[in-house]
Amino acid sequence: MSFPLSNFPVTTTATTLRPARYLPTTIIHGLPPLTTFNFHRNPSKTLFFPSHIRTATAAASTIEIEPLDTVVSDSLPLKKVLIPIGLGTEDMEAVIMVNVLRQAGADVAVASVEPNLEVQLSGGTILVADTSISECSDQIFDLVALPGGMPGSVRLRDCKTLEAITKKQADEKRLYGAICAAPAVTLLPWGLLKRKKTTCHPAFFDKLPTFRAIKTNLQVSEELTTSRGPGTCFQFSVSLVEQLFGESASTEMSKFLLMDTTDEVSRIEEFNKVEWAVDHTPRVLIPVANGYEDIEVVTVVDILRRAKLDVTVASVEKTLSVVGSQGIKMVADELLKNAAESIFDLIILPGGVSCVDRLQKSRILKKLLKEQVSSGRKYGAICSSPSILHKQGLLKNKKATAHPSVMSMLDSNAIVGSQVVVDGRLITCRGLSSAPEFALAIIAKFCGHGRAKSVATGLVFEYRAS
């Protein structure tokens, strides 16, 4: 493999990679590409890209995009991917896979194995699937990828339609994969691990066939790819991109996701040391709007809830339903106007260009942030949302970091090299693949390094206390 990370050891077999069928072209995302390499983007999904936006009305959940000269012809085949979800599916794994694969240009179908399209995941997030699994039974997919989580992996295992689809996928030598509990709980009972080297979450490792069980974060064995858990899901997803689109695509995707390839994976700069400990369960508010960055919101919510923090996701839209930057549909906990009646220990602003634009127009949120700071309570931002704090004068004399596309706004106070920066009651993060460090830093400040390390262990993520 060409992209081993110090935080993610890789083991592969001799037939790891499969050639791409066509050259990928343009990435389209909420932030400008960091390189000139282009990916093919699935035009049917919700897209957010500032240099090509025509007009988006206040209520719109999709936007129009100018045609790009570099996009390949519509006559070329799309890579079709199936990602099933069920009650108790792991939040981070499902969302990271969907987001990354859609970024790379795959036509991803999120299919519910439940009677309804609305599915509550293991961390409490409610996603709205694109379709029912029954609608996928006659389709051919280039990849079937199973997220883990409990009881999500059991719900997938017990779905006969999904079992038939995945068995056919394996029989016809097309790509399939599973992460976390799913290799042991779902694929093993279906007989799809025979003669395959496999890994899974440490809690289920003893269920794997001993001879072919491999203690590694990523294992590729012919058509099957397996991985250990939420903390390895970025690597898992990028590996799937490589197998679908080729080595160059995976390399550029790693850069685009801001995946740190240095030895110092997590670096937290603390300036004015202020302990965040509170004498009650910390309450956290995350306001969201259409165009929110899927990975950032779901990752932070999932990890904070694992630490038993009381997290409220509040929609600034007129409805609870919001659509993410890659078309992932989520149901918020409540409307922001209702959440504003409560007091929160921390307010976190997520990224996503369209989301940031809508958040900074919210009078309710402006008032909340002003009261949060004046009352000496904590606040933070991730990815492109530090620009909201900057415009409200809330970064004055503060050290901060942000996505490279908005770093110039932070002037001399910008900390370019850090994934996460804590300066007094302010915490900021670069975004995307740094979201786990961001959430763990919050847990450490409120609850101590012990709990942060415990949560990281469950994620199969290396926690490095600052």
Nearest residue to 458 via CA among 227, 210, 268, 201: 201
pLDDT score recorded for residue 418: 85
Rg of the chain taking only CA atoms, in angstroms: 21
pLDDT score recorded for residue 409: 79
> Which amino acid is located at 244 in the chain?
L
Same fold for the domain at 10-256 and the one at 268-459? yes
Question: In the chain, which stretches have pLDDT less than 50?
Answer: 1-75, 261-266
Distance of alpha carbon 343 from the chain centroid: 28
As a whole number of angstroms, the distance between CA 179 and CA 225 comes to: 8
Give residues with Cβ within 8 angstroms of 314, minimum separation 6: 285, 286, 287, 288, 332, 333, 334, 335, 336, 338, 339
Q: pLDDT for 50-76, tens place per residue?
A: 322 222 333 333 333 233 333 333 445
As a whole number of angstroms, the distance between CA 401 and CA 353 comes to: 17
Question: Does CATH number 3.40.50.880 belong to domain 268-459?
Answer: yes
Q: pLDDT for 270-292, tens place per residue?
A: 565 667 888 899 999 999 999 99
Catalytic site residue from 180, 200, 383, 429: 383
Residue boundaries of the structural domains of the chain:
10-256, 268-459
Give pTM, 2 decimals: 0.84
pLDDT score recorded for residue 328: 97
* Residue 383 annotated to the active site: yes
Is 412 in contact with 396 (CB distance < 8 Å)?
no
pLDDT score recorded for residue 274: 61
Is 106 in contact with 42 (CB distance < 8 Å)?
yes
Q: pLDDT for 305-331, tens place per residue?
A: 999 999 999 999 999 999 999 999 999
Q: What is the assigned CATH class of domain 10-256?
A: alpha beta
As a whole number of angstroms, the distance between CA 303 and CA 123 comes to: 8
Q: pLDDT for 77-112, tens place per residue?
A: 689 999 999 999 999 999 999 999 999 999 999 999
Peptide bond into 151 cis (omega under 30): yes
Would you give the DSSP letter of residue 77? P
Is 420 in contact with 397 (CB distance < 8 Å)?
no
